[in-house]
Amino acid sequence: MFMAAGLTSDHSGILNYRFLITISMKKLFLIASAFALCLCASAQNFESVRERIESLFDIELPDPGPAHLTPTYSYRIPESDSYHAIVEDMLDLYGRRVQWAFEDRPSFDPEYAVKCIGIDGQPYLVAVTASKNIWYNKRESVKVISDTLKVSKELAGKLDALFRVAVETATFMPYRRLVLTDENGNKTLKGGIPEAVLVDGNSYTFYSEGRTAMCRNQLGEGPLKNLVDIGIALYKAVKAKDLEAVTKVLDRVEPTKQSLFAAAPDWYPEYLEAKTNDLWR
């Protein structure tokens, strides 16, 4: 007679299996309930949702730390059916000349992005906009509208440095993990309870030198919100072909870059702050 490994008619064995099933069901219920709370929290602050989860289940979630970008791994094959790959391909965010890009994927409105490209050593900012939301429409029915603005190498260099730092810092920041400190003050990461992430709303992706990092729309206040605001302001300025508006954005670039370091200085290597991209020099 076939019998699963370890499964006997012993009464204590049956109790152990029942106990394991009960524990698993509790974990499943916890995860499902937390997820349900998150889905209902689009208009709420993350901290209030966090407090409700902790109170409801009598647990303590790990401190998420300062908001920061999360490294992402994109599907770069144009033939892929992945929504992300299609958007990136249509907006040409991995083009040969693209130095950096900022992309916004709203839930229902058209996707859009602003990027910096180089042509014969001359930098240009390009705003690209889908004619309608790609997610809800066939690719063949969506057109991409482009607006281009020529900028100085100095301006391009400052923006290039900001986007490079933004994406690089994402590599060194802990994400959804518990931070442990030993007796010598050394920090290590250990898997913890995932943070609540809202699945709806805008998602923002930053591109720099072929690497990407992203965040969701629940930003609160801080360097990450400033970074997103800069991306949106750049897109609007280029869309309007307003060079003066682009220049005004530069006033926010250096403070935002420094605030990215100040948010959690222990996590960034010393070389990162001094690292700049001299592509446009």
Looking at the fold, whether 15 and 116 belong to one and the same domain comes out as no
Each as own residue / partner, the long-range contacts of residues 134-138 (CB below 8 Å, 24 or more positions apart, any chain) are 134/83, 134/86, 134/87, 134/90, 134/110, 135/83, 135/105, 136/108
Q: Is the dihedral of CA 11, 14, 18, 23 positive or negative?
A: positive
Looking at the fold, whether 219 and 141 belong to one and the same domain comes out as yes
Looking at the fold, whether 183 and 259 belong to one and the same domain comes out as yes
- Spatial CA neighbour of 170 closest among 263, 62, 246, 75: 263
- Distance from C-alpha of 231 to C-alpha of 239, rounded to nearest angstrom: 12
Looking at the fold, whether 146 and 44 belong to one and the same domain comes out as no
Q: Is residue 211 part of a domain?
A: yes
Convert the pLDDT of each residue in 226-263 to its tens digit: 999 999 999 999 999 999 999 999 999 999 988 887 77
Looking at the fold, whether 19 and 151 belong to one and the same domain comes out as no
Looking at the fold, whether 182 and 244 belong to one and the same domain comes out as yes
- Distance from C-alpha of 277 to C-alpha of 116, rounded to nearest angstrom: 13
Alpha-carbon distances of 138 from 86, 93, 127, rounded to whole Å:
11, 19, 22
Q: Is residue 50 part of a domain?
A: yes
pTM confidence score = 0.69
Looking at the fold, whether 23 and 127 belong to one and the same domain comes out as no
Q: Is residue 280 part of a domain?
A: no
Indicate whether 278 pLDDT > 60: yes
Domain endpoint, select from 57, 79, 95 = 57
Domain membership of residue 46 as a residue range? 11-57
Buried b / exposed e over 151-184, threshold 16 CB at 10 Å, is beeebbbbbbbbbbbbbbbbeebbebbebeeeee
pLDDT-derived band at 159 (thresholds 50, 70, 90) equals very high
Convert the pLDDT of each residue in 182-207 to its tens digit: 777 666 655 443 333 334 578 899 99
pLDDT-derived band at 169 (thresholds 50, 70, 90) equals confident
pLDDT at 259: 85
Q: What would the mean pLDDT of 84-113 be, rounded to a whole number?
A: 92
- Distance from C-alpha of 70 to C-alpha of 215, rounded to nearest angstrom: 6
